[in-house]
Structure 1
Amino acid sequence: MKTLLKGLLYLVVLLAAVFVVGGFLLPSSSHVERSITIDRPPAEVHAMLDSYKRFNEWSPWFEIEPTAKYAYSGPESGVGAAMSWEGAKVGKGSQRITESVPQQKVVNALDFDGTQATGIFGLQVQGAGTRVTWTLESEHGNNLVSRWFGLLLDSMVGKDYEKGLAKLKLVLESEPG
């Protein structure tokens, strides 16, 4: 019995050492990025992304829990426009536009129940349309749990970003040009 307990203790110590040492070897930030080309000029795409008025028309998370509670504050569009949400499936969080450059980009400060990140919509003219690149940047610092979690971020968020961009394209391209 003593040998078994001693072996378990060594295993726990080894796992803790792997967690700590491995965590400090992991990147201190994460980056998720997806892109799509939308057959609309940058001004139209920017107008959609620069406000939360129509966010749920293309949000990949709205259909997960349409009954979640949403609240809006600040100006209707541009820097300071904000949206918060709370639901059983989508959790609790908020986002606020911190930078808006017409026809070029919209930057959002994200808060997922205390965890901060930055969302960026980059816009580039591509032919007669606009190339939209949706990026998520997350800084982990010395938070070891966050660093380990960062390894999964692309697989967790990437598909949602692809779905959201496809819906954004559908919404914008279905409107009269």
Structure 2
Amino acid sequence: MTENVVVERMERIAATPEQLLPHISRLPEWTQWSPWEDLDPDLKRQYSGEPGAVGSSYEWSGNRKAGSGSMRITAVDPDGVGIHLDFTRPFKSSNELRFVLQPEGDATRVIWRMETPRKLYTRFVDLDKLVGGDFEKGLRKLKQVAETP
């Protein structure tokens, strides 16, 4: 059985899960808060499917920093959003993302979780250090977007 590598970050956001779901499940909305938006001003994007629905997807291709790949929504429910993420460049990898939405009074605890099978490169690359800071930046930006009237 293959061991998985998990990266996870959390942010408390003053919004309900219902208010947060569209920001996460509708992939075109990511341009407002994704931590990777400023990596390539000429990033090429292609969306397909009904935004926010299971099966909708997003493909991108950019410079060396942005790389290329695709995301596909695999689950949308009151508890969060599931996403299958494939990178094709700068390296190939297949990952499962989950945004867990936990109500906390008048706010929501948002957990951004990535799980990927341990591969040879993950023995030499600390994925938590590689993407953990990006998750933190993205959650802070999502908080700004969701909390701005």
Matches within 5 A, 1:108-127: 108-113=83-88, 114-127=92-105
Matches within 5 A, 1:12-51: 28-51=3-26
Unaligned runs of 5+ in 2: none
Pair 1:96-2:72 in alignment: yes
Q: CA deviation at 1:146?
A: 3.2
Q: CA deviation at 1:169?
A: 0.3
Q: Which residue of 1 aligns with 2:109?
A: 131
Q: Percent identity?
A: 37
Residue 152 of structure 1: which of 126, 129, 134 is its match? 126
**Separation in 2 of the partners of 1:154 and 1:147?**
10
**Separation in 2 of the partners of 1:161 and 1:154?**
10
Residue 72 of structure 1: which of 47, 56, 79 is its match? 47
- 1:33 is aligned with what amino acid? E
Q: Secondary structure at the match of 2:39?
A: coil
**Separation in 1 of the partners of 2:37 and 2:25?**
18
Q: Which runs of 4+ in 1 moved over 2 A?
A: none
Shifted more, 31-40 versus 58-67: the winner is 58-67
Residue 32 of structure 2: which of 57, 60, 66 is its match? 57
Q: CA deviation at 1:100?
A: 1.1
Q: Secondary structure at the match of 2:136?
A: helix
TM-score (norm 1): 0.77
Q: CA deviation at 1:130?
A: 0.7
Over alpha carbons, which structure has the higher Rg? 1
**Separation in 1 of the partners of 2:34 and 2:22?**
15
TM-score (norm 2): 0.91
**Separation in 1 of the partners of 2:51 and 2:16?**
21
Unaligned runs of 5+ in 1: 1-26
Q: CA deviation at 1:68?
A: 0.8
**Separation in 2 of the partners of 1:115 and 1:64?**
19
How many residue pairs end up in the alignment? 144
Q: Secondary structure at the match of 1:59?
A: coil
Residue 86 of structure 1: which of 61, 66, 70 is its match? 61
Q: CA RMSD in A?
A: 1.4
